[in-house]
Amino acid sequence: MRLHEYIDVLIPRGGSGLIQAVIEQSTIPVIETGTGNCHIYVDEFADIKMAADIIHNAKTQRLGVCNTCESLVIHEKAAEKAIPAVCEKLKSFGVEIRGDEQARKYFSMEEATEEDYGAEYLDAVISMKVVRSIEEAIRHINHYSTKHSEAIITEKYENSMKFLNEIDSAAVYVNASTRFTDGYEFGFGAEIGISTQKLHARGPMGLLALTTTKYIILGNGQIRP
């Protein structure tokens, strides 16, 4: 982590402990990758079947990866229909659901704690929060997010654009699974990692993200006046 003469950049691949250790100890530039507390927000204008299918895929297609959905946010106007539909599909896969007081009115689940909302479980566990508005959903997600991948399920264009503009994460989806956050899936070739920082690379990385610029200038005596 200090061999400047040999190494240009470090990309830690692993858990948050490894990543934090490299950030704190390295004197070589580091691209932070991996930690993913990914959210899906079910808007009041969501297609409920679509929401249940997307959430099921985002949570259960692979449990132990950084682009798996770990946190659900549900608009109160969608809660009565969305929560049973979503929870039935998750329960069929054996997922433990931890929700706030509002969520527990619509389905039997464990009580969520403050730690649950910030957790990257990498396991068959998911948290759930009911909110009163899209603004509250955005505040909640930006507060607990690891800036990896977030999604909104909605049929309302204005709400999708608001979510895209105001969520501060590397990948933001409308009506699609967070499991697509991957260099190969984005068409970048070999998967290098998923950067959760803003410089130099952000989001899914292919080989292009590890290249730099070299300027070649051919002259015949030009000088700058």
**Which helix (H) or strand (E) is 56 found in, with range?**
helix 48-60
The angle, 0 to 180 degrees and rounded to 10, between the axes of the packed helices 76-92 and 48-60 is: 40
- Peptide linkage before 75 cis (omega within 30 of 0): no
DSSP, collapsed to helix, strand or coil, labels residue 180 as helix
What is the tens place of the pLDDT at every residue in 99-147?
999 999 999 999 999 999 999 999 999 999 999 999 999 999 999 999 9
d(CA 98, CA 13): 28
What is the tens place of the pLDDT at every residue in 22-67?
989 999 999 988 789 999 999 999 999 999 999 999 999 999 999 9
d(CA 80, CA 194): 35
Helix-, strand-, coil-residue percentages of the chain, each rounded to 5? 35, 20, 50
The domains found in the chain, sorted by start residue, are 38-180 (3.40.309.10)
pTM for this one?
0.91
- The pLDDT assigned to 202 comes to 92
d(CA 35, CA 38): 9
